[in-house]
Structure 1
Amino acid sequence: MSQREWVAAAIRKIDADFNRSADTHLIPMDLPGFPGIDLYLKDESSHPTGSLKHRLARSLFLYALANGWLREGRPVIEASSGSTAVSEAYFARLLGLPFIAVMPATTSPEKIAAIEFHGGRCHLVQSACQLNAESEQLAQQTGGHFMDQFTYAERATDWRANNNIAESIFKQMADEPHPVPEWIVCSPGTGGTAATLGRYVSYRRHDTRILCADPQVSVFYDGYVAAAAGKPWRALTCEGGSRVEGIGRPRVEPSFIPTSVDAMVKVPDALSLAAMRHVTRQLGRRVGGSTGTNFIGVLQAAQWMREAGRGGSIVTILCDSGERYAHSYYDPQWYQRQGIDIQAADEQLAQMVQGQCPPVLPVCSLEPVNG
């Protein structure tokens, strides 16, 4: 089979897989302390590989195929903290390609098992800062292709339409009381989702604003602050890796586009995980830590709306299932090892949900947020 024939067959397989899949659900959830404000969670955990990253992996594979970067029988390598690797392993197996995930050694055992279930191999490194260099080296050694989600996430996704997450949200919101959300809240892993959402609402001329909630150990917020001030921001870094798996990075990734985001907040890990537990109780099933980070962003957006006397809707993303974090976020001993006071965080979160205690977070915005 020629390269052109193999690429055509590979794209046909991915399109067929897409046609077999239904859209993800949009779930309403009460915000008792904020009457007149409706909250919806876009449940990306219902994808075949269980997370928001299923969309990204599909786009990255189609982008690489269309560019001629993938070859029959040659491995695909990705730098990932877990969920993207799970999804890419799925698509690699669909195309009959070997897959290697370069991951931090701290990645949850559940994610490692999920990658291996889909036929992938895990290459663990001690520091998140090593991921890209190790991936590039493996690609050279094996003759494979480094997918590089952190560079290509924002350009691989068709932000105008093609059933991206933004288009899906607005279609599902069409019959709701407030069909055009005041805010859509997400969190940055690559920055690609924020870029897609921001570009789509601008292109479609919606009044919706995008709020990005960055976890505690991450440099995206600092990059945004610098960019908003007209200072150099691309080369900023921070020490350590994010405790909220799937989001936050020690460097400002190429897919992060500050001008596609209207505001950013910085969320302490203890609050993110308290919010994760709250959403879990409200839905009756476990969600991941990044959903908690998003929920804190929701409370901040709701506070701004209340201060401005505005009602309306907010949409955020339920990124993945909490079943992948049984050995971390749902293990009390993990919190003890991390020095996180669960009771204090839960009490603070309960007051925030009731509207009794406004979020006190570092905030940066391109324009006033409560006007």
Structure 2
Amino acid sequence: MTHRSRRDWLSEALRKIEADFNRSADTHLIPLDLPHTPGITLYLKDESSHPTGSLKHRLARSLFLYALCNEWIGPTTTIVEASSGSTAVSEAYFARLLGLRFIAVVPESTAPPKLDAIRFYGGEVHKVDDARKVYEVAHHLATETGGHYLDQFTYAERVTDWRGNNNIAESLFSQLSHEDHPIPEWVVCGAGTGGTSATIGRFIRYRRHATKLCVADPVGSVFHRNFHDPAIDHLPEGCCSLIEGIGRPRLEPSFVSSVVDRMIAVEDSQSIGAMRAVTDVLGRRVGGSTGTNVWACLQLAKEMAEQGISGSMVTLLCDAGERYGSTYYDDRWLADRGVEWRTEASLVRAKFTPSDPNGPLYRSITK
């Protein structure tokens, strides 16, 4: 292929991705009242409404644009990624849009509906038994096929324009502009690559907002440990979380702890319980990482109320729960893994339900 024809292909590939973006509306911001903490409103930024159903649609688009503009991808390039599922689903979508082969390297434990979605968009699935080996296997496959390893864990923090350009931070602040508290006290998100937290944290500082950024992290993750002790950059083998998409056993290059104001470690049972409760409140299923975020938000709301602070906070509804029907929404699957979530679900559900503030239930969830 000549230089001119390659540039023509590149121009057309970029046009297709930009056209796809132009066809997409912004994601909704859903307000949730917290009747036991008057004056505090929680908003969910509903990222499940993207064409591929998750927050990772934004990342996949940015990764493709970055690789295209660096001319790392051509008309016959095989695209390879290491993923726990959702990023690969979105990347398979963009690879199909460009007519490129796509291979997702995923842990054996990845939820089957995510694998089905990857295949639906024309992607291939390569499973590995040890989640820690997804990186090296992806790199090997890219080399073997003469392809390109997108490497979300390295590039996530740099592929998005953190100053604006309709990134997730600019979007949520714009949507809050006519609310009672347009500048939130907190924005809460998880970290898988660290790209979203880096974008939001940098944007907050760039716009000189007083907002603080909290990262909600599974207990079985290295990020919150590294935040408190920079010498910790990996976890022992066997230490992990059930929550897909967030939390990692190794410190990823895209995690920028310096723009994070606080981290809250959340048990898997708390994430699942909160997920189930939010599902009841919204009347539709959400994913496990949304439960992680909401659990952290409720802890922050309690602290705000104790300090007499009113205001707003925003977190992410990362993906829909339909992909987890055989895992997080399967009681037997959870029981087999020793996850007792019902008490946590009841506590979170009560947070969204008006009740007697002097009664035993309210006291039990605010102690």
Classify the secondary structure of the residue corresponding to 2:229. helix
- Any conservation in 2 of the 1:351–1:357 contact (CA below 8 Å)? no
What one-letter code is carried by the residue in structure 2 that aligns with 1:100?
Answer: I
Find the counterpart in structure 1 of residue 278 from structure 2.
279
- Any conservation in 1 of the 2:35–2:351 contact (CA below 8 Å)? no
Find the counterpart in structure 1 of residue 216 from structure 2.
213
Q: Deviations over 1:38-59 (max 9, x none)?
A: 1110000000000000000000
Find the counterpart in structure 2 of residue 365 from structure 1.
none
- Equivalent residues, number: 355
Find the counterpart in structure 2 of residue 368 from structure 1.
none
Find the counterpart in structure 2 of residue 117 from structure 1.
120
Report the Cα distance in structure 1 between the residues aligned to 2:31 and 2:316, rounded to whole angstroms: 12
Classify the secondary structure of the residue corresponding to 1:81. coil
Find the counterpart in structure 2 of residue 245 from structure 1.
244
TM-score under structure 2 length normalisation: 0.94
Q: After superposition, where does 1:44-123 map in structure 2 within 5 Å? A: 44-123=47-126
Question: Which segment is superposed worse, 24-33 or 322-331?
Answer: 24-33
Find the counterpart in structure 2 of residue 356 from structure 1.
363
Report the Cα distance in structure 1 between the residues aligned to 2:236 and 2:316, rounded to whole angstroms: 26
Q: What residue ranges of structure 1 are gaps of 5+ in the alignment?
A: 361-371
- For residue 114 of structure 1, report the CA deviation from its aligned partner: 0.3
Report the Cα distance in structure 2 between the residues aligned to 1:11 and 1:285, rounded to whole angstroms: 35
- Any conservation in 1 of the 2:286–2:317 contact (CA below 8 Å)? yes
- Identity of paired residues, percent? 58
Match of 1:194 among 191, 197, 202: 197
Query: Aligned in 2, Cα 1:311/1:238: closer, same or farther, shift over 3 Å?
Result: farther
Query: Aligned in 2, Cα 1:64/1:359: closer, same or farther, shift over 3 Å?
Result: farther
Report the Cα distance in structure 2 between the residues aligned to 1:263 and 1:318, rounded to whole angstroms: 20
What one-letter code is carried by the residue in structure 1 that aligns with 2:188?
Answer: V
- For residue 169 of structure 1, report the CA deviation from its aligned partner: 0.2
Report the Cα distance in structure 1 between the residues aligned to 2:32 and 2:346, rounded to whole angstroms: 20
Find the counterpart in structure 2 of residue 346 from structure 1.
345
- Any conservation in 1 of the 2:54–2:320 contact (CA below 8 Å)? yes
- For residue 112 of structure 1, report the CA deviation from its aligned partner: 0.3
Report the Cα distance in structure 1 between the residues aligned to 2:210 and 2:237, rounded to whole angstroms: 37
TM-score under structure 1 length normalisation: 0.93
Ranges of 4+ aligned residues in structure 1 off by more than 4 Å:
350-355, 357-360
Report the Cα distance in structure 1 between the residues aligned to 2:41 and 2:137, rounded to whole angstroms: 44
Q: Deviations over 1:57-99 (max 9, x none)?
A: 0000001111111121121000000000000000000011100
Find the counterpart in structure 1 of residue 268 from structure 2.
269
Query: Aligned in 2, Cα 1:357/1:76: closer, same or farther, shift over 3 Å?
Result: farther
The alignment's C-alpha RMSD in Å is 1.5
Find the counterpart in structure 2 of residue 11 from structure 1.
14
Match of 1:154 among 146, 154, 157: 157
Task: Say yes or no: does 1:171 pair with 2:170.
Answer: no
Find the counterpart in structure 2 of residue 363 from structure 1.
none
